[in-house]
Amino acid sequence: MAGMSVETLDFSTANPLTIDADVVIVGAVSTSDGPRLHAAAGFEWLGDALAGIGASGAPDRLVRVPGNGSAAPVVAIVGIGDAATVEALRYAAGSAVRQLAGTGRVVFAFPLEDDAAAAAVAEGAALAGYAFSAEKGVSSVPEPVRSVTVAVPSAPAGDVAERAQVVAEAVHLVRDLGNTSASLLYPEEMANRARAAVEGLPVTTTVWDENALERDGFGGILGVGRGSVRAPRLVKLEYSPEGATRHISLVGKGITFDTGGLSLKPAGSMVGMKYDMLGAATVLAAVVGAARLGVPTRLTAWLCIAENMPSGSATRPGDVLTMHGGRTVEVLNTDAEGRLVMADGLVAASAEQPDLILDVATLTGAATIALGKRYTGVMGNDETADTVVSLADAQGEPFWRMPLAPELRAVLDSDVADIANAKIGHREGGMLIAGHFLNEFIGTRPDSAESIPWVHLDIAGPGDNGEAGYGFTGKGATGVAVRTLLSLAEQYGRA
């Protein structure tokens, strides 16, 4: 792995004052009367001093003071916000571990009342314990906290710590892939890394190279990738646990670098386009996490991977591509390339008649205009989209459902092909128009005209963070949506 993660994560029923550590972490809740201590017994001496030392209780606010008799030489007070909910505890634990990078061992001394709270603290800490240093030369990156202990009144039921580590490492897989330079992570290499990520797991891998893509008619992936000297790939990952009765297909956009093609982006807009493969990385990580956790739902992931470059062989505006399955697309904007590779994946996924198709893509800049940098735009063809939003809420991932406004479909009408990929000069509703395009490639049930349930996640905003860290999220690729996808797979397995 290119990044670094927390090495050990465990629970202890010992008094947190007596646990050997570099830092012991307590919390502060923000109230109308000022900050209030949220800590296990033995830290009461901090209560009246919080405001004086700057511990406001606000999220991401962290203050260090001497240990005052605890085994740890330092006490860190982290802000929890207005109430110590499960979501707030996850966020606060992550914020503390992120800001304490370079520390050896930390102990959480929150008053945890149940297993859900303990699991949230463990997961937040594990998610935040990440650093990417693979491409540093002379300068260095502070190592993440090496060891995390969560003090609890009684041991949580089940393998809570192991689950937190598995989930965090799945998220970190996305971060590693996204943070890697596009010169090092090109389509063939991303396919190789996907194969390596599932090695030893009960996952079957199939890879289409350029010749196989040509043979099987994947015209969208080929059309986007033809301008690059580095050929495109399609990767299929199949996780089929024994006894699984439901099947989710995951389709991910994997543009390892997006110049816009012949519809060339401005220089400033090209910075950060190494992150345009985060959708494919996300569905890969979801399969890896599900297989490691033994989730009882069949998952198939389609990673649609290409590099969008300008050259003499690149697709031209006005060219018509034939997608997998035969539908034709007039390419009016080569910078609307993600939907072209996704179309091939959605058709291939539909052919297997899964119970649900869910796609993940850094699809549109319009999503960031509408929702900012932290919200994932959600669209879909039935109430499953609302279910996904609810699951995301429980995971502390901000998702927001957007409409598939019917009047916008006509924008994609073409005079020469079945559909156009964009309309030059039409700026309104760009995220929704992209959703309409994808919806055209969702198949129907064999015994009716009813569409296969489909949900689309546009992670163009929250997929990477270019600003200051927050909660368990640092700079760079975030790994957003992985935890929601795992929660969805677990829910389907219980249905």
Q: Tokens 């505006």 map to which residue?
A: 317
Strands (E), 389-475: 399-401, 419-420, 454-458, 464-465
Cα–Cα distance for residue pair 449/344, rounded to 1 Å: 21
**Among candidates 255, 289, 287, 286, which has minimal Cα distance to 273?**
255
Rounded to 5, what percent of the chain is helix, strand, coil?
A: 35, 25, 40
> Is residue 276 marked as binding?
yes
Tell me, yes or no, if 265 is annotated catalytic.
yes
Looking at 195, 265, 327, 409, which residue is catalytic? 265
> Is residue 335 marked as binding?
yes
> Is residue 253 marked as binding?
yes
> Is residue 44 marked as binding?
no
* 77 beta partners: 26, 63
Question: For residue 438, what are its two tokens?
Answer: 């994808």
Q: Tokens 């297909």 map to which residue?
A: 249
Cα–Cα distance for residue pair 306/259, rounded to 1 Å: 12
For residue 154, count other CB atoms closer than 10 A to its CB: 11
DSSP 259-293: --TTSPPPHHHHTTGGGGGHHHHHHHHHHHHHHHH
**Among candidates 34, 19, 100, 91, which has minimal Cα distance to 64?**
100
Looking at 61, 105, 163, 339, which residue is catalytic? 339
Tell me, yes or no, if 105 is annotated catalytic.
no
Q: What residues are designated binding site for Mn(2+)?
A: 253, 258, 276, 335, 337
Residues tagged active-site: 265, 339
Q: What residues are designated binding site?
A: 253, 258, 276, 335, 337
